[in-house]
Amino acid sequence: MKKNDLISITDYSKEDYLHILELAADFEKNPNQRLLEGKVVASLFFEPSTRTRLSFETAINRLGGRIIGFSDAGSSSVSKGETLHDTIRMVSNYVDLIVMRHHLEGSARYAAEVADVPVINAGDGANQHPTQTLLDMYSILKTQGTLDNINIFMIGDLKYGRTVHSLLMALSEFEKPIFNFIAPEELAMPEEYKLFLKEKGIRFFEHTEINENINHADIIYMTRVQKERFMDPIEYEKVKNVYILRNNMLNDTKPNMRILHPLPRINEIHPDVDKNEKAYYFTQAKNGVYTRQAIIAHILNLK
């Protein structure tokens, strides 16, 4: 039987997305379902990521599964020079599912080829982080009641931000989304994604500043502008404070509008926004647990 990995968001169809989101809603209603009873899951974090790891491990625990693994490569045999191939071959003998994060791009696809058991990519460098995309979609569905006709503003680092690229691809599968991109020139949405939207006949607009345009938004998706992305530190200094969302900017936004952020944030969302009911990023993180329960159930055909 072909195993069902989740490596890249484009591995899945719209039907897969919808099935997972439906399961996520079910897990939110009833989080403790012991579907993984008697199963062992490997949580292999070759690169540390507290948020994603805890979210996955909570999901596995709520499903009644047991976890083996490591939270950084320093405490694994990788520090002795073992190849990814050998680590995966070995672990794949022990467990029913592998969740992995690795700093090298393509590592998860390769691990899925090597392993006999399904692999879930919990982030492979700057490449893919598909479970984030699914939890973003779940958050949009939950707050908007639909994934069709969503007017989404993506703000910040749109060049290197893998979460915005994956979300763009996934939302494009639904009816008539409208994309608005707000980014400094150096971090603008890459041409290949704009071309992809053009070919699909999907509308998008580009802006260079946060202004009253955001009053049309259903979703504002904020990302972090990362200093290390800039060749010239002066360029970073110029833009670092341009893309900060403040509470007083939200006065005339739509009542249904919600603000998402993959977290961690630095200064791009001012703390005064946190009190606003439109701030959704912490609930979004909570949704991550239900979504990951759903992904595991989908992959292992448990539901």
Partner 1 sequence: MSDSLKKKLKLKVSAINDGTVIDHIPSENLFKVISILGLEKVKSQITFGFNFESEKMGSKAIIKVSDVFFEDDEINKISLIARNAKLNIIRDYEVVEKRVVEVPDKVIGIVKCFNPKCITNNEEITTYFNVISKNPLDLKCKYCEKITHEHQMVIK
Q: Single out the segment in contact with partner 1 by CB under 8 A; choices: 38-46, 80-88, 205-213, 263-271.
A: 80-88
Q: Least CB distance from residue 10 to partner 1, whole Å? A: 9
* Angle at alpha carbon of residue 265, lines to 261 and 271, rounded to 5°: 95
Between residues 41 and 108, which has the closer beta carbon with respect to partner 1? 108
Q: Which residues of 88-121 are buried (b: 16+ CB within 10 A; e: fewer)?
A: beebbeebbbbbbbbeeeebbbbbbebbebbbbb
Q: Least CB distance from residue 85 to partner 1, whole Å? A: 6
Q: Least CB distance from residue 100 to partner 1, whole Å? A: 12
What number of chain residues touch partner 1 (CB under 8 A)?
A: 18
> In the numeric block, which tokens belong to residue 259?
């603000």
Between residues 165 and 224, which has the closer beta carbon with respect to partner 1? 165
- 131 is a contact residue toward partner 1 (CB under 8 A): no
Helix (H, G, I), strand (E, B) or coil at 256: coil
- 106 is a contact residue toward partner 1 (CB under 8 A): yes
Site string for partner 1, 175-214 (x = CB under 8 A): -----------------x----------------------
- 125 is a contact residue toward partner 1 (CB under 8 A): yes
Pairwise CA distance, residues 10 & 182, whole Å: 24
Write out the H or E segment, with its range, that includes residue 289: helix 281-299
Q: Which of 107, 132, 133, 284 is the binder for partner 1 (CB under 8 A)?
A: 107
Between residues 46 and 138, which has the closer beta carbon with respect to partner 1? 46
Helix (H, G, I), strand (E, B) or coil at 2: coil
Task: Count other C-beta atoms under 10 Å from residue 230's C-beta.
Answer: 18
- 127 is a contact residue toward partner 1 (CB under 8 A): yes
Nearest to 141 by CA among 290, 302, 299, 300: 290
Task: Count other C-beta atoms under 10 Å from residue 86's C-beta.
Answer: 13
Between residues 122 and 259, which has the closer beta carbon with respect to partner 1? 122
Between residues 142 and 165, which has the closer beta carbon with respect to partner 1? 165
Nearest to 261 by CA among 235, 237, 287, 241: 287
Q: Least CB distance from residue 267 to partner 1, whole Å? A: 27
Q: Which of 75, 77, 93, 104 is the binder for partner 1 (CB under 8 A)?
A: 104
Write out the H or E segment, with its range, that includes residue 194: helix 191-199
Between residues 91 and 182, which has the closer beta carbon with respect to partner 1? 91
Task: Count other C-beta atoms under 10 Å from residue 195's C-beta.
Answer: 10
- 85 is a contact residue toward partner 1 (CB under 8 A): yes
Nearest to 225 by CA among 266, 274, 185, 194: 266
Binding site for partner 1 (CB under 8 A): 8, 83-85, 102-107, 109-110, 124-128, 192
